[in-house]
Chain A
């Protein structure tokens, strides 16, 4: 006897074949064992290798549905269709009317009528000299119908495998033209070897286990048992993992890129005195961007301290009024410190950047931030009044506009964006200033992204920064939207759990 352990598929097959002398068709064995054809073929291969089973290919003749037979199996026999039409009219109809209702030609109709009468379903009488058909609904399927469905279900059947009454029906149906056909088919017949019969005989009746339990494992009760097969194709309940928000996910990617480019991260307050948000950036106090229509001012909150020291405040006052000692003409108006104390929600992260410049007066630095900024706008599918801004600056004695273009190109490259265009634009606090556009291969279009420039001397000199400061910045949400194919910006902060749960991390 084989000492090799048997897989439960093998055990199942051996038991099915137990006691059988002749070879059995593989398909028939599979059905009897309750296994799929694939599983059966696999087990056959394994058992052959163990010399417990022999398989031989065999050709045999099978009976199959022909075109008319397929039609009848799908739509019903013509006599059945005729009876259905008759019962629809209430069980009585003139032959003429019935013929009209019947779907099929005259020849088919008379054959259907003949068969229906033979079955005893329909009776013809004469009313007012005209032939009239009468009949009641019959639910029970005829032997012919049952045979047709069997062929439709199983595909092909050998005559030898048919029961006695089926053989009789076969003869009748073969008389109908186009109903059945005979075809040569290859099959595999399997049978147990003598060693296989021995093993099969030795297999005990096994109990199926619903599942493994600690007790079953501990007691070894699993030995000689198989697990009850389950529907492995059935859907399983969903599991939702913990996840980063997609915006945060993108922020972190951007932070990683900046760090890789040698930039240090800074962050700072959202609530800012106007001084750091506007005045230090050489934005005159009557500039439209400072109006309440565009900027959120905090109610009942003036900053008692604007920070940065009296010297910086004095320098900013002068640069606005007459340019101070920056070489500028200035704006030529009377600067008011009270307006600089008004508290705003920062309209750009540049407020944090200039404070950093004032505090550190760097000669050489690379610094970035990703932070929330606010604009008093009506929100719609394109605009939010609160969004993230990306900003990077590079300070150095010899840095230039071309370097700035290079830094930004490198930044885009790390985001997978290779085609960049630049053209002149205007920002109040940078000069020269450029706008950039990036080509998105997947969209087949250019999209305007970051703006950039060199901070004006009117911005840097009063803060004590002597070297040029390259700066670029832009909105973050636009990039997140492009990545996820979102067209309504508000979707990003709707926090729809089905969206958050369903969004893949990579694509």
Chain B
């Protein structure tokens, strides 16, 4: 990396500067520094791209880089058959490359990053690098039946495409992209030699090695713009590495294009817009300097600045992106904090404040607050239902942890699970939780609401004690009377459960937890509990 910079720089300086390009230092070793780049900067996927930006930020080489593109005369025919499968093709010829093992590794890593990021794991774009001298143009990009045979890269024998998808690692990984098609894409030369089976694997014939002098780049895609974005990043890196770029002709059934198109684009930004958002007061000269340090071109600076954006900077969508380029060129180190004046008066949400009040009452009653996850296991959910079918419960798709498959519909299961984890702790255990529960409403729509639940566990725990706490809670919080009407719930023991009524409305349940439920949670002391629809009670 240091060798790619236009002036000498110490390693310490390098490590201190990289973060100001938006690169995170992942690892600092004797021989290398490993950085993580953000997805908006695919041009940072190679050290050539990072060096280009560093040269700018440090003032070693500034302004938009220019890339010359010659003509190779290589043509690619895009056959009608591939238009339904993967219709876009762009590419280029790269002459006089000099590759060693390290630069090949860099190229492959960049290609992977581009295929994964902009290429959305090759579903949108995939790239191939080939030894041009091993094949004979013109090339044809077409779709063929899965029985088509060729020698894939690194396999050492001929295989059918079906076999490739089944037996080769990249086939297993990317084959799903082709699952809806009966024909698969292939790129062949004049004599039928296979360059690539995109987006899966290249042919062995065009393997790139340290001997390779001239390269052909193919990019196939379902999105033409994304394909060109990827090509621009690749070519800028190869040109910085010292190679010459040449265009190719792409002949579609009813149109013709020449790629690559590396023309930069123009973007107009108001000076006041940049100064306003950054909180700075930069002069025309400073704007020019900052933008050039970010490797952008500056065409003219008046009230409006016309910025030249190199083709490989596909992340620049809006003038606001130019604001960030100015900020980076100015260097965030030089940006000092200011504190904006305001006459705003802060306040808490009235609903959460009401819950705060409920919490205070429960703590005053000597209960310890616990906090549990919203996502619970199916097993926990079933424990609450006494064998009844799950119906109004909400499930999430593909949870990485099976313990977290359902949204809880009640807090009682969470409290029992807490008690279950604390069976070796001193009793009495008196706990409460204030949290959200989730369920499917009568109309089928998902709903969520805050609830309050209390559980009392000790040798003498019973319904009466729970009711004392409930009555005190309602009295202290709202001055409300507590009415309990006999009722049945699967989680409570028969004859020891009641519906809680406030203002004659059903607002929850109270009871002694049924012994079978206790047993399910390995609890060896009686537990009494209640759960309240606190939002309805507080009318918040």
**B338 contacts A298, C-beta separation under 8 Å:** no
- Whether, in the assembled complex, B13 has its beta carbon less than 8 Å from a beta carbon of chain A, the answer is no
CB distance from A385 to the nearest CB of B (A): 6
Report the separation of the CA atoms of residues A454 and B396 in the bound assembly, to the nearest whole angstrom: 32
- Whether, in the assembled complex, A497 has its beta carbon less than 8 Å from a beta carbon of chain B, the answer is yes
Known: A297-B397, A377-B400. A425 touches B372 (CB 8 A): no
**Beta-carbon nearest neighbor of B319 in chain A:** A327
Report the separation of the CA atoms of residues A261 and B347 in the bound assembly, to the nearest whole angstrom: 10
- Whether, in the assembled complex, B321 has its beta carbon less than 8 Å from a beta carbon of chain A, the answer is yes
Residues of B within 8 A of A296 (CB): 375, 396-397, 399
Report the separation of the CA atoms of residues A244 and B363 in the bound assembly, to the nearest whole angstrom: 7
- Whether, in the assembled complex, B287 has its beta carbon less than 8 Å from a beta carbon of chain A, the answer is no
**B317 contacts A376, C-beta separation under 8 Å:** no
- Whether, in the assembled complex, B71 has its beta carbon less than 8 Å from a beta carbon of chain A, the answer is no
**A271 contacts B448, C-beta separation under 8 Å:** yes
**A376 contacts B339, C-beta separation under 8 Å:** no
- Whether, in the assembled complex, B258 has its beta carbon less than 8 Å from a beta carbon of chain A, the answer is no
- Whether, in the assembled complex, B404 has its beta carbon less than 8 Å from a beta carbon of chain A, the answer is yes
- Whether, in the assembled complex, A142 has its beta carbon less than 8 Å from a beta carbon of chain B, the answer is no
- Whether, in the assembled complex, A501 has its beta carbon less than 8 Å from a beta carbon of chain B, the answer is yes
Report the separation of the CA atoms of residues A496 and B343 in the bound assembly, to the nearest whole angstrom: 44
- Whether, in the assembled complex, B205 has its beta carbon less than 8 Å from a beta carbon of chain A, the answer is no
Residues of B within 8 A of A297 (CB): 396-398
- Whether, in the assembled complex, B164 has its beta carbon less than 8 Å from a beta carbon of chain A, the answer is no
- Whether, in the assembled complex, A306 has its beta carbon less than 8 Å from a beta carbon of chain B, the answer is no
Residues of B within 8 A of A423 (CB): 19-20, 22, 332
Residues of B within 8 A of A245 (CB): 369-371
- Whether, in the assembled complex, A323 has its beta carbon less than 8 Å from a beta carbon of chain B, the answer is yes
Residues of A within 8 A of B436 (CB): 270, 372
Interface 9-mer from A32-40, A125-133, A426-434:
A426-434
Report the separation of the CA atoms of residues A35 and B266 in the bound assembly, to the nearest whole angstrom: 96
Report the separation of the CA atoms of residues A185 and B321 in the bound assembly, to the nearest whole angstrom: 90
Residues of B within 8 A of A229 (CB): none
**A431 contacts B370, C-beta separation under 8 Å:** no
Residues of A within 8 A of B76 (CB): none
**A372 contacts B395, C-beta separation under 8 Å:** no
- Whether, in the assembled complex, B323 has its beta carbon less than 8 Å from a beta carbon of chain A, the answer is yes
- Whether, in the assembled complex, A481 has its beta carbon less than 8 Å from a beta carbon of chain B, the answer is no
Known: A365-B344, A431-B321, A432-B323. A495 touches B422 (CB 8 A): yes
**Beta-carbon nearest neighbor of B440 in chain A:** A301
**B404 contacts A424, C-beta separation under 8 Å:** no
**A426 contacts B39, C-beta separation under 8 Å:** yes
Encode contact with A along B437-468: 1 for CB under 8 Å, 0 otherwise: 01010000110100000000000000000000
- Whether, in the assembled complex, A378 has its beta carbon less than 8 Å from a beta carbon of chain B, the answer is yes
Interface 9-mer from A58-66, A78-86, A190-198, A397-405:
A397-405
**A501 contacts B351, C-beta separation under 8 Å:** no
Residues of A within 8 A of B363 (CB): 241-244
**A468 contacts B369, C-beta separation under 8 Å:** no
Contact of B352 among A242, A243, A267, A500 (CB under 8 A): A267
Report the separation of the CA atoms of residues A373 and B317 in the bound assembly, to the nearest whole angstrom: 29
**Beta-carbon nearest neighbor of A423 in chain B:** B19
**B38 contacts A403, C-beta separation under 8 Å:** no
Report the separation of the CA atoms of residues A263 and B340 in the bound assembly, to the nearest whole angstrom: 13
Residues of B within 8 A of A242 (CB): 362-369, 430
**Beta-carbon nearest neighbor of A258 in chain B:** B346
- Whether, in the assembled complex, B302 has its beta carbon less than 8 Å from a beta carbon of chain A, the answer is no
CB distance from B338 to the nearest CB of A (A): 4
**Beta-carbon nearest neighbor of A326 in chain B:** B318
- Whether, in the assembled complex, A207 has its beta carbon less than 8 Å from a beta carbon of chain B, the answer is no
**A286 contacts B120, C-beta separation under 8 Å:** yes
- Whether, in the assembled complex, A330 has its beta carbon less than 8 Å from a beta carbon of chain B, the answer is yes
Contact of A301 among B223, B369, B446 (CB under 8 A): B446
- Whether, in the assembled complex, B421 has its beta carbon less than 8 Å from a beta carbon of chain A, the answer is yes
Report the separation of the CA atoms of residues A409 and B323 in the bound assembly, to the nearest whole angstrom: 22
- Whether, in the assembled complex, A410 has its beta carbon less than 8 Å from a beta carbon of chain B, the answer is yes
- Whether, in the assembled complex, A170 has its beta carbon less than 8 Å from a beta carbon of chain B, the answer is no
Report the separation of the CA atoms of residues A238 and B426 in the bound assembly, to the nearest whole angstrom: 10
**Beta-carbon nearest neighbor of A368 in chain B:** B346
**A402 contacts B374, C-beta separation under 8 Å:** no
Considering residues A301, A410, A426, A495, which has the most beta carbons from chain B within 10 angstroms of its beta carbon? A495
Report the separation of the CA atoms of residues A240 and B367 in the bound assembly, to the nearest whole angstrom: 9
Report the separation of the CA atoms of residues A425 and B21 in the bound assembly, to the nearest whole angstrom: 8
Encode contact with A along B103-147: 1 for CB under 8 Å, 0 otherwise: 000000000000000001000100000000000000000000000
- Whether, in the assembled complex, A248 has its beta carbon less than 8 Å from a beta carbon of chain B, the answer is yes
Encode contact with B along A262-283: 1 for CB under 8 Å, 0 otherwise: 1111110111000000000000
Residues of B within 8 A of A433 (CB): 324
- Whether, in the assembled complex, B176 has its beta carbon less than 8 Å from a beta carbon of chain A, the answer is no
Report the separation of the CA atoms of residues A365 and B278 in the bound assembly, to the nearest whole angstrom: 19
Residues of B within 8 A of A379 (CB): 401, 404
CB distance from B400 to the nearest CB of A (A): 5
Encode contact with B along A416-460: 1 for CB under 8 Å, 0 otherwise: 000000111110100111100000000000000000001011100
Which of B's residues lie within 8 Å of A, judged by CB?
Answer: 19-22, 24, 38-41, 120, 124, 223, 225, 276-280, 317-321, 323-324, 327-328, 332, 335-340, 342-349, 351-352, 356, 359, 362-375, 394-401, 404, 407, 418, 421-422, 425-426, 429-431, 436, 438, 440, 445-446, 448
Q: Shortest 10 CB-CB distances between A and B: which pairs?
A: A400-B279, A402-B279, A426-B38, A259-B346, A432-B324, A405-B337, A406-B337, A242-B363, A328-B318, A406-B339
Can you show 23 pairs from A to B with CB atoms below 8 A apart? Answer: A244-B363, A245-B369, A245-B371, A259-B347, A266-B349, A267-B349, A292-B398, A298-B396, A330-B317, A345-B407, A366-B346, A372-B374, A376-B400, A386-B373, A400-B279, A402-B338, A424-B22, A424-B327, A426-B38, A432-B320, A492-B371, A497-B431, A498-B425
Given contacts A264-B346, A301-B445, A405-B337, 18 further A-B pairs with CB under 8 A are A264-B347, A267-B351, A271-B394, A297-B398, A298-B396, A323-B317, A366-B342, A400-B280, A403-B340, A422-B335, A424-B19, A424-B22, A426-B41, A434-B332, A495-B370, A495-B421, A497-B431, A500-B368
Which of A's residues lie within 8 Å of B, judged by CB?
Answer: 238, 240-245, 247-248, 252, 255, 258-267, 269-271, 286, 288, 292-293, 296-301, 303-304, 323, 326-330, 332-333, 343, 345, 364-366, 372, 374, 376-379, 384-386, 394, 396, 398-403, 405-410, 422-426, 428, 431-434, 454, 456-458, 468, 492-498, 500-501
